[in-house]
Structure 1
Amino acid sequence: MNQYDCLTDDSSLASAIFVPSYCGLDLGRYLWDYNASFRDSLSLDLVKWLARQPEWKRMFGRDHFFVAGRIAWDFRRQIDNDNGWGSVLMSLPESMNMTMLTIESNSWSNEFAIPYPTHFHPSSDSEVLQWQDRIRKQKRKYLFSFAGAPRPVLQDSIRGQIIDQCLASGRLCKLLDCESGPNKCDNPVEVLKVFMDSIFCLQPPGDSYTRRSTFDSIVAGCIPVFFHPGSAYAQYLWYLPKKYNKYSVFIPAYKVKNGSISINETLLQVCEDRMMDMREEVIKLIPKIIYADPRSKLKTTEDAFDIAVKRVLERVEKVRTEIKEGKDPGIGFAEGNSWKLKMSEAGIEEDWDHFF
């Protein structure tokens, strides 16, 4: 943010105000073995301080935004006692007037998902083009791959079945086991090598709906295969195409769970022409989902940071216009939407509410 071109030291001239609060780092210290008051203390201090500032009173915080480096679920504790998970940051009245950017959103209308950071931070447009050209020419020896570990304690997890189907597919599938032995999944070279060698990359939910692996696979030109609409389609509305079947394959998780579908057979049915079209769509997405080296700036394309700031400014300007027109800016700003409504706003017509 400090490298952004359009900064001003005069907050009265600012179109929007960035709140540099590291909420994820704060909460991460107290998620386990601490009571709720510990987890909430800095969140309460933050909003009280913000509400006292002259900048706040201009739009009562609706021109403020911040970034939280954890999933949104961690900031909306459902149970108001020590047994509830996370903090109450996003449930506070002041926070309802701000926009939160995070790696995974809930269905609230003031939360927006932005891409997980990958290991690719280009410093020029030419680096992006060279990388796209390289993966476009990449020979791929596996039909599909999965990098991850099972989640046996999660009742609805399909990772066990995915691993079983991968192993049963022989040379068609490559498994990067993140559970046994040295964890190769922490090595970006190992992960990218597997994804660059694969046509499709399986992206089931883990501890939450989304995973960084989705963006690693896009960087590698590997077509993502999703099993839950909350893993991408209902999340990255600013970044991914509305027509999700242009760049990905969707296999309902419950069909994997009950054994009524074969991942292997499903992916083998994708014809060569469609597969090539999907890969090209994935390759086109790369500039939009990466974060360029902050010491430089891409000149001919917008990266994930540029898109996020642009969309926040558009959102604030919409509120500013509503105020000038005498409308209530609070209507729709922080609504507890259903996922169905959120996806319909993204142009997705399928009724997937039951997945949530």
Structure 2
Amino acid sequence: MENPITSKCCNHQPWFVLLVFFVFCIELFSFDYSGFTAKKSALVTVLDDNHGNVINTQSSLPHDFTEITNASVYPLPKTDEKGDLKVGTEIDSCVGRYIFVHDLPSRFNEDLVNNCRLLTRGTDKNMCPYLDNLGFGPEIENPEDVLINNSWFLTNQFLLEVIFHNKMKRYECLTNDSSIASAIYVPFYAGLDMSLYLWGFNTTVRDSASLGLVKWLSEKPEWKRMWGRDHFLVAGRIAWDFRRQSDNETDWGSKLRFLPESKNMSMLSIESSSWNNDYAIPYPTCFHPSKDSEIFRWQDRIRRQNRQYLFSFAGAPRPEYQNSIRGKIIDQCLASKSQCKLLDCNYGTTNCDNPVNVMKVFQSSIFCLQPPGDSYTRRSIFDSILAGCIPVFFHPDTSMLNHFKIFHMV
């Protein structure tokens, strides 16, 4: 005999399915999710492997992880003290910013610094004192309160490569694994090496260190990965000091940047050339603030300056240069009397290497005249900008052609 209950279920199957679904829904929504919710909303912490800091993800991480920049987010399985699974994230803030630094033989950098007394060829300066404080030089005495104490140092304009190297040693995203590096730094002090041999040496001597460098680099596995296209170096002199186009003994500089290997590398220098892979950055000034408050304090002081002179000029005549306009600028400045302030930088006249003397003049002037010096730019340009004095150029190459990029980085 047929079971009546089974018969009813079969005859009314749609209603039976609907009844089961209804009961399931009641059980689903009546389930206590409080424990699960508590675990889900619990504070998740992330350990930053680079700094060892614990980060509060509720306040630090955006809800949409795709908005995180310069970071790689990896979901990692983690459990709490009870063994229950919880969600965690690990952020590598250095992704895209890792730098690998070549450990060059000491002859390419440290030996040059250790023999700093030899770096005076062609000048009357002893370079050794300028190497204090990681290349910033000694702190400047400020008896007249022209500067801000603890922020100004006697920095030599040709020590950019030393300053940069010391800064790079403290860079937070250094790596010993060149395969994850976004760029590879070559700490060759090309400018200091060049300063030894610019005057009175043949081209073989001037090119010796450059040839030795590219030979050493070309034998490294890091070089062979991209043949140097991810390599860069920083030079403390202008790019043209490393672009001698012939082997004539009378031609200036070395041919570092015309060597086949060097052409693949990028170079940051005081002035860029019109050739590829050169990038201009400013001369290092003497202002090295260590915190934001020192910058704000300096800005406030500059805004309050009483500028009694219409224009000023700090420099010396260059009679050896036939096309130099400096002599005429000096004559007109002297003739202008109260309208122009002249800081005569002839040897023995005034210590123009002392920023106190220079900044005192620039802070009292509206316009600062900036004719070309040994090259199209001068460090005085950046000193005048710091002083709030408007630089006035006399040659298009100072700002518009090869060196236009300088002012995008000030």
2:291 aligned to which of 114, 119, 124: 124
Q: Distance in 2 between matches of 1:12 and 1:26?
A: 30
The question of whether the paired residues in 1 share the 8 Å contact of 2:198 and 2:252 is answered with: yes
The question of whether the paired residues in 1 share the 8 Å contact of 2:186 and 2:233 is answered with: yes
Q: Distance in 2 between matches of 1:180 and 1:43?
A: 33
Residue matched to 1:147: 314
Matched, 1:195 2:362: yes
Q: Secondary structure at the match of 1:240?
A: helix
Kindly provide the amino acid, as one letter, of the partner of residue 176 in structure 1.
L
Matched ranges for 1:253-264 at <5 A: none
- Normalised by the length of structure 2, the TM-score is 0.58
Cα-to-partner distance string for 1:217-262 (whole Å, 9 max, x where unaligned): 0111110001112223335544525xxxxxxxxxxxxxxxxxxxxx
Higher radius of gyration, 1 or 2: 2
Give the superposition deviation at 1:8: 1.2
Q: 1:15 to 1:237 in 2, by over 3 A?
A: farther
Kindly provide the amino acid, as one letter, of the partner of residue 231 in structure 1.
T
The question of whether the paired residues in 2 share the 8 Å contact of 1:71 and 1:104 is answered with: yes
Q: Distance in 2 between matches of 1:184 and 1:199?
A: 22
1:48 aligned to which of 209, 215, 221: 215
Give the superposition deviation at 1:7: 1.4
Structure 1 vs Structure 2 CA RMSD: 1.4
Q: Distance in 2 between matches of 1:22 and 1:11?
A: 22
1:101 aligned to which of 268, 276, 279: 268
Matched, 1:59 2:229: no
Q: 1:121 to 1:223 in 2, by over 3 A?
A: same
Q: 1:235 to 1:131 in 2, by over 3 A?
A: farther
Cα-to-partner distance string for 1:267-307 (whole Å, 9 max, x where unaligned): xxxxxxxxxxxxxxxxxxxxx53xxxxxxxxxxxxxxxxxx
1:18 aligned to which of 165, 174, 185: 185
Residue matched to 1:89: 256
Q: Distance in 2 between matches of 1:180 and 1:37?
A: 33
Structure 2 alignment gaps of length 5 or more = 1-167
Larger RCO of the pair (alpha carbons < 8 Å, separation 6+) = 1
Kindly provide the amino acid, as one letter, of the partner of residue 130 in structure 1.
R
Give the superposition deviation at 1:33: 1.2
Q: Distance in 1 between matches of 2:170 and 2:387?
A: 27
The question of whether the paired residues in 2 share the 8 Å contact of 1:233 and 1:240 is answered with: no
The question of whether the paired residues in 2 share the 8 Å contact of 1:185 and 1:191 is answered with: yes
Give the superposition deviation at 1:156: 1.3
The question of whether the paired residues in 2 share the 8 Å contact of 1:112 and 1:235 is answered with: no
Give the superposition deviation at 1:140: 0.6
The question of whether the paired residues in 2 share the 8 Å contact of 1:90 and 1:96 is answered with: yes
Matched ranges for 1:113-262 at <5 A: 113-179=280-346, 181-240=348-407
Kindly provide the amino acid, as one letter, of the partner of residue 42 in structure 1.
A
Q: Whose strand proportion is higher, 1 or 2?
A: 2
Q: Secondary structure at the match of 2:342?
A: strand
The question of whether the paired residues in 1 share the 8 Å contact of 2:189 and 2:235 is answered with: yes
Kindly provide the amino acid, as one letter, of the partner of residue 235 in structure 2.
A
Q: Secondary structure at the match of 1:55?
A: helix
Q: Secondary structure at the match of 2:237?
A: coil
Q: 1:180 to 1:47 in 2, by over 3 A?
A: closer
Matched, 1:110 2:257: no
Kindly provide the amino acid, as one letter, of the partner of residue 34 in structure 1.
F
Give the superposition deviation at 1:72: 1.1
Kindly provide the amino acid, as one letter, of the partner of residue 84 in structure 1.
D
Q: Distance in 2 between matches of 1:180 and 1:31?
A: 21
Kindly provide the amino acid, as one letter, of the partner of residue 17 in structure 1.
I
Q: Secondary structure at the match of 1:186?
A: coil
Cα-to-partner distance string for 1:18-48 (whole Å, 9 max, x where unaligned): 1000001111111111111000011000001
Residue matched to 1:3: 170
Kindly provide the amino acid, as one letter, of the partner of residue 209 in structure 1.
Y
Residue matched to 1:272: none
Q: Distance in 1 between matches of 2:308 and 2:237?
A: 35
Q: Distance in 2 between matches of 1:111 and 1:142?
A: 38
Residue matched to 2:91: none
Residue matched to 1:29: 196
Q: 1:18 to 1:110 in 2, by over 3 A?
A: same
- Normalised by the length of structure 1, the TM-score is 0.66
